[in-house]
Amino acid sequence: MKISFIVPLFNCLELTQAMTASLRDSLPQELDYEIILVDDGSTDGTRAWLSTLQPPFRIILNERNLGYGAANNRGVAEARGDLLALLNNDLILRGGWIEPMLAAHRSLGARAGLVGNVQVAAATGQVDHAGITINHKGKPAHDQRRPWAVRRLFAPVREAAAVTGACLLVSAALWRRLGGFDPVYINGCEDIDLCLKAREAGFLNAVALRSVVLHHVSASQGRKLRDEENTRHLVLRWRAALAHLGQRDWTRNAFETTLPDPRDFADPRLAWHMAFYLLHLRSDPPPNALPGMQASIGVELERWQELLGPPL
């Protein structure tokens, strides 16, 4: 199967040069691939450098800055691969990162959704991403737990609610079926939205725990400017799904808040239910988790109303 690597660019030329060099050096020789670089209006010499590149690079130049989602969508529209690998230009890739992602995608078979990996912050060496969870406020959060060695050895593919678009693998057919990144999001939450669409359609998103890359986290200028607007739009669109996905974190937060004074547990049976659920000894959430999540999301929506005004 041919793989199309899609890399949106906006300035940060030195990071781009290092990333593309590490990409080519890290890929197996037998891999059939192309690398599509989509420049989104860079002004730092990136375009002059792009003009020097030869195949397997393919270059797309946006006349103006369209944003992360639109740049990826344009790259995918020109892709010839059966599989798409979306990559940020601030990654550092080392040998052996792509093979576990391909293996994870194969292992999921017809139910394969979006496959991510473990990303380590280049500056600190700490895990920045091992999947995306939904927290007790109904908002996406990076799972920053370092996967246990035993888990990586014997269960190297872990299901996740979502994965970041900084490094993900998805079939071209599924991308087109889901419609790609929604342009309503501006540099944030496009990837979460797409993952939730995949889940809704019956596909499984997962993390390939044996695939590890380094990431200069949020190196692009303006990356965080619209976080509040993007997250509110995500929550308004996926409120019911996020309430269900956040039940475990809500239970953890409620249990830890109440634990210092166990007398605050009005019903001991509920306390045990919460404890067993957190220990994965029960699969059903406690009865207060879903109403609690719904209330928490309501509080966030009220905060956004005050901060941003009515949604458009």
Q: Which tens digits make up the pLDDT trace of 137-195?
A: 999 999 999 999 999 999 999 999 999 999 999 999 999 999 999 999 999 999 999 99
Residue 193 within any structural domain of the chain = yes
The enclosing domain of 34 has a CATH number of 3.90.550.10
208, 299: one domain: no
Q: How confident is the model at residue 295 (pLDDT cuts 50, 70, 90)?
A: very high
Q: How confident is the model at residue 302 (pLDDT cuts 50, 70, 90)?
A: very high
Q: How many domains does the chain have?
A: 2
**Domain limit, last residue, from 192, 225, 258:** 225
191, 266: one domain: no
> Looking at residues 119-128, what average pLDDT do you find?
96
| 3-class SS letters over the chain | CCEEEEEEECCCHHHHHHHHHHHHHHCCCCCCEEEEEEECCCCCCHHHHHCCCCCCEEEEECCCCCCHHHHHHHHHHCCCCCEEEEECCCEECCCCCHHHHHHHHHHHHHHEEEEEEEEEECCCCCEEECCEEECCCCCEEECCCCCCHHHHHHCCEEECCECCCCEEEEEHHHHHHHCCCCCCCCCCCHHHHHHHHHHHCCCEEEEEEEEEEEECCCCCCCCCCCHHHHHHHHHHHHHHHHHHHCHHHHHHHHHHHHCCCHHHCCCHHHHHHHHHHHCCCCCCCCCCHHHHHHHHHHHHHHHHHHHHCCCC
Q: Is the pLDDT of residue 261 over 90?
A: no
Residue 239 within any structural domain of the chain = no
Q: Is the pLDDT of residue 272 over 80?
A: yes
Residue 12 within any structural domain of the chain = yes
Q: Is the pLDDT of residue 312 over 90?
A: no
150, 280: one domain: no
139, 194: one domain: yes
Residue 230 within any structural domain of the chain = no
186, 287: one domain: no
Q: Is the pLDDT of residue 222 over 80?
A: no
Q: What is the structure's pLDDT at 217? A: 83
Residue 125 within any structural domain of the chain = yes
196, 254: one domain: no
- 52-97 pLDDT per residue, tens: 999 999 999 999 999 999 999 999 999 999 999 999 999 999 999 9
221, 288: one domain: no
199, 253: one domain: no
Q: Is the pLDDT of residue 220 over 80?
A: no
295, 256: one domain: yes
Residue 232 within any structural domain of the chain = no
pTM: 0.94
Q: What is the structure's pLDDT at 223? A: 58
Q: Which domain holds residue 274?
A: 246-308
75, 162: one domain: yes
194, 291: one domain: no
Residue 20 within any structural domain of the chain = yes
Residue 40 within any structural domain of the chain = yes
**Domain limit, last residue, from 196, 225, 254:** 225
202, 268: one domain: no
